[in-house]
Amino acid sequence: MPYVPTFDRTQMMMCSWDSFVAPESIARLIDAFVNSLDLVKYGVKEIATEGRPAYDPKGMYKLYIYGSRKGIRSSRKLEESCKVNLEVKWMTGGVEPDFRTISDFRKDNIDSLKEIFHEFNRRISGAVEWGFSSVDGSKFLANNSKDNNFTKNKLDDRIKWLNAHTDEYLRILEEMDDEEETQENLTREVIEAKLKEARERLARYEVYQKLMEETGAPQLSLTDVDARLMKNKNGFAVAYNPQTAVDSETHLIRDFEMTNQVTDHGMLNPTMKNIRKEYPEEILEVVADKGYEKAEDMVECLENGIIPHVITGDGKDGYELEISYEENEADIKSIKPEELKKSLHAGQIPDVYKEVISDMKVAEVRRKVKEEGEEPENEVSIYGTPEEMLERAEKGYFVRDPERNLVYCPAGEILRQKSIKKNGNIRYANKTACKNCPNRNKCYKGKGGWKEIDFTKDTLEKPCKEWMKAEGKESSTIKNNTRWHYEKVKVVKFILKPSREKMIERMCLSEHPFGTIKRAMGATYFLLKGLRKVTGEFALFCLGYNIERAKNLLGFDKMMEIMAGA
């Protein structure tokens, strides 16, 4: 049987550029949408009257939106697409900008991309019915390797390792001075070169350590300063944690918030606040998983007219929340944020919250308050030089240095801040030091792999009881003489009961867009650096996803009508 016949490459043909693009191609939607935009509103500069003519900015926006949807993201690949991709040539009118021009345009107009994403959502809002939103985050790799990311514990380990190697190189050089013969592969020049390299790295790491202690930064990334080391399914990676609000009815991304926060705590209200501003006449509802459990964040949502349905732990039906009491007259029928806030703080349930809030009451509680004034002159302080703190720690104490925000343990190791607990206590740990500690049995006998110790902001030291017992010593903790007293204050207590039906639906919402963006669009990592720039890059991901999703929901003809009729 013969093969399918092919065309003759030398044959002349007559056709239009329009015939090369499929009637329902997504390129036609992008073209109609961008052509109807008023780019002056987004800060695009006017055409220069002198010099070489500039490329049409609308063509550049089309190129980026199309490339993001099709997984063509780098400026060099976009340059190639302008030469070989028929749909791109049709959209841009056949111009062929080089990669640097393409890259510079994105750099100069990066802030406009999120605004254009919002403009697309505004246009289709009249054709769809919005439901509640599902908020979730996902880790997207940053343009920064793990080797160029440092935590305080990582720097402590490397500095300790380099100090040991520097001492060893010096010892070998001293031995070489006393020996006449040397090994072939271990000459003085080799050792001196290794010593010089170790000292240079040590000096560099000490500068990083000093910078982090002075600024209080938990991490330092050298390539992308805003990126953070985060835990994901494959271990740890330097990444960003964008938050998306996905609509329950359409599965469209209504809004997003770019963040480098390593966890999702406290991200409900920041992610939903812009949607609330767009729809001030509506009470919004949002669903999220257990990772968003933060009382302050849920209270802020309620004050702003957003009902948070955060998945509860086992055996819990709701959340017991507490806010300060403020006596005032509020309109419980209003849905304005200022009236909602007044009602909640006055101990009155707004009408729109009666199905989710119950057992609201005003109560008096005792609060521990630090007394104002100067500290006593005879107060004993344990804070001196690091050597003095280490000497105290070796007697069986965990000694905290608040200025450097670290703790010295009885074994002489440094514990760094791991997290801040809900009650305000600071938790310190050093996994590597604990795992390799020869005195571990004298300090920690728990099931975990390392010791974790909590300090309040006013605690200076804590005895290690196991260590004291092993050494046959008695503890005599130096106390902080900070004075406290108790005051009675009025608070409003209530129970927030999330909707179980909506919590069940959450599993089918947030994962779908992230999966499409990462797999179908190939956007698992960012090319740009810095929080501001990756926000624009992620806006392209969301816009590309929404265009395709809206096309499948509304049909091509309806979408063309919406895109062109701004």
Separation CA 521–CA 493 (nearest Å): 47
* 22-51 pLDDT tens trace: 999 999 999 999 999 998 888 886 665 566
Q: To the nearest whole percent, how much of the chain has pLDDT over 90?
A: 55
pLDDT at 562 exceeding the cut of 50: yes
Report residue 380's pLDDT band, with 50, 70 and 90 as the boundaries: very low
Separation CA 1–CA 225 (nearest Å): 63
pLDDT of residue 378: 40
Locus of tokens 């009155």: 348
pLDDT of residue 381: 47
Report residue 379's pLDDT band, with 50, 70 and 90 as the boundaries: very low
Crossing angle for the helix pair 112-124 and 556-564, to the nearest 10 degrees: 120
In the chain, % helix, strand, coil (3-state, to 5) comes to 45, 20, 40
pTM comes to 0.87
Reduce the DSSP state of residue 434 to 3 states and report it. helix
Q: How many CA atoms lie within 13 A of 534 on its CB side?
A: 28
Q: For residue 194, what are its two tokens?
A: 């290794």
pLDDT of residue 277: 92
* 106-120 pLDDT tens trace: 999 999 999 999 999
Neighbour order of strands in the sheet with 306-310: 253-257, 243-247, 133-137, 284-288, 306-310
* Nearest CA among 137, 506, 496, 499 for reference residue 302: 496
pLDDT of residue 411: 87
Report residue 82's pLDDT band, with 50, 70 and 90 as the boundaries: very high
Report the mean per-residue pLDDT for the chain: 88
Q: Where are the domains of the chain?
A: 21-130+548-564, 133-140+229-358+494-533, 146-222, 386-482
In this structure, the dihedral spanned by the alpha carbons of residues 172, 174, 178 and 179, taken in order and rounded to 10 degrees, is 20
- 502-512 core/surface letters (b: 16 or more CB in 10 A; e: else): bbebbeebbee
pLDDT of residue 46: 61
Report residue 374's pLDDT band, with 50, 70 and 90 as the boundaries: very low
Higher local confidence (pLDDT), 251 or 50: 251
Report residue 180's pLDDT band, with 50, 70 and 90 as the boundaries: low
- Taking residues 12-19, report their average pLDDT: 90
Q: For residue 217, what are its two tokens?
A: 């930064």
Alpha helices in 216-313 (DSSP H): 268-278, 295-303
Higher local confidence (pLDDT), 533 or 44: 533
* 49-69 pLDDT tens trace: 566 788 999 999 999 999 999
pLDDT at 375 exceeding the cut of 70: no
- Taking residues 218-231, report their average pLDDT: 92
Report residue 477's pLDDT band, with 50, 70 and 90 as the boundaries: low
Higher local confidence (pLDDT), 315 or 64: 64
- Taking residues 368-380, report their average pLDDT: 54
- Taking residues 128-145, report their average pLDDT: 94
Higher local confidence (pLDDT), 348 or 183: 348
Report residue 376's pLDDT band, with 50, 70 and 90 as the boundaries: very low
Bridge-based pairing state of the strands 397-401 and 406-408: antiparallel
Separation CA 328–CA 64 (nearest Å): 53
